[in-house]
Amino acid sequence: MDVIEATGLTKRYGETLAVDDIDFSVAAGQTVGLLGGNGAGKTTTIAMLLGLLIPTAGTIRILGHDMAHDRFAALARMNFSSPYVALPQRLSVAENLRVYGHLYDVRHAGQRIAELAAELDLTDLLDRPAGQLSAGQKTRVALAKALINRPEVLLLDEPTASLDPDTGDLVRSWLERYRAESGCTILLASHNMAEVERLCGHVLMMKRGRIVDRGSPADLLARYGRDDLEQVFLDIARDRVRETVA
C-alpha cells in the first residue's frame, strides 16, 4: 500500500519551474531518498508534501488523505525535521517538546518526552535552553520533536547536515532502529550519498525540478556502472549520463 502518492506535481514561481510534473509513490514502511543538487527541487517537493506550499498543479495523497482538502488529518499522523527550521531558542528542550506534545495532542506527553530523551541521550539537556545546544544536540532535539507524535510518515530534510561523523552515525542508527520498530515510512532529502545508500531502499534522483532516475541504490549503481552513489550523483549532475541509461 502506498502511503505517499504524488501525481503530476508541479510548482512554478513566475517563470521559474521549481518542480516539473513529477510522479512518485512511497510504500508503507519504506525509506526513500530524494537526491539532487542545490536547486533540484527537493525542499520544494517536501514543502508541498507538508502543505507549506500549494502546488501549481498535481495532487498529493498522504495516508489516504488528499492534502489539498484534508491536510490536517494527515499532518496529525506525520512529522518533519530540518536543520533549517529552528525551534524557539529561549525555550528549554523540555518546554519545546511540551509545546509540540500539545500541538500534536500527544497522550501522556511527559512520559513520551522522557522516553525520547532517554533514547536520544537528551535527559541531561532537558532543562537547557535550545539556543545553548551544539549542532549535534540541536539535531537530536529536532529529531525528538519530529518523533513526539509517533509519526507514521516522517519527512526529513538533510537530517545529518553539519553533524560530525560520530553524531551523524548515531542519528542514522537511531533512524534505522525506529523504522524497524515502528514501520514508519520515511522520505529523506540528503546530499550525503553514504547515508542514502545505508538508509534508503529506493532513491529518486532529481535535477532541475524533474525526477531523472529512480531505483534501489544497487539498481542505480549497476545501471551507471559505478561503485558508489556519489559517482552516480556526479554523473547525473554533470550530464555524464551513459547512453545505456534511459
Partner 1 sequence: MIRPSARRIWGLMYRHLVLYRRSWPRLLELAYWPTLTLCIWGFTASFFASRVGSAGAVISGMLLGGVLLWEITLRSQMGVAISFLEEIWSRNLGHVFVSPLRPWELLAALIAMSVVRMLIGLLPAVLLAWVLYAFNVFTLGPVLILFALNLMAMGWWVALGVVSLILRHGAGAEALAWSVLFALTPFSAVYYPVAVLPEAVRPLALALPAAHVFEGMRALLEHGTIAWGHMAWASGLNALWLGAAGVLFMVQFRVARERGALLTIGE
Task: Give the binding site for partner 1 (CB under 8 A).
Answer: 13, 44, 47, 50-54, 72, 75-76, 79-80, 82, 85-91, 95, 98-105, 145
CA distances from 1 to 5, 26, 29, 62, 239 (A): 10, 9, 9, 11, 34
Q: How far is the CB of 190 from partner 1 (least distance, A)?
A: 18
**CB nearer partner 1, residue 36 or residue 101:** 101
Q: How far is the CB of 130 from partner 1 (least distance, A)?
A: 9
Residue whose C-alpha cell reads 515510512 in the numeric block: 185
Q: How far is the CB of 50 from partner 1 (least distance, A)?
A: 5
What is the rounded distance in angstroms from the CA atom of residue 243 to the CA atom of residue 233?
Answer: 16
Contact 83, 158 (CB under 8 A): yes
Q: Torsions phi, psi of 150, nearest 5?
A: 45, 65
**CB nearer partner 1, residue 63 or residue 236:** 63
**CB nearer partner 1, residue 78 or residue 229:** 78
Q: How far is the CB of 192 from partner 1 (least distance, A)?
A: 21
**CA dihedral in degrees (49, 117, 100, 158; nearest 10)?**
-30
**CB nearer partner 1, residue 106 or residue 204:** 106
Q: How far is the CB of 72 from partner 1 (least distance, A)?
A: 5
**CB nearer partner 1, residue 86 or residue 222:** 86
- Where would I find the beta strands (DSSP E) of 28-161? 31-36, 57-62, 65-66, 78-81, 153-157
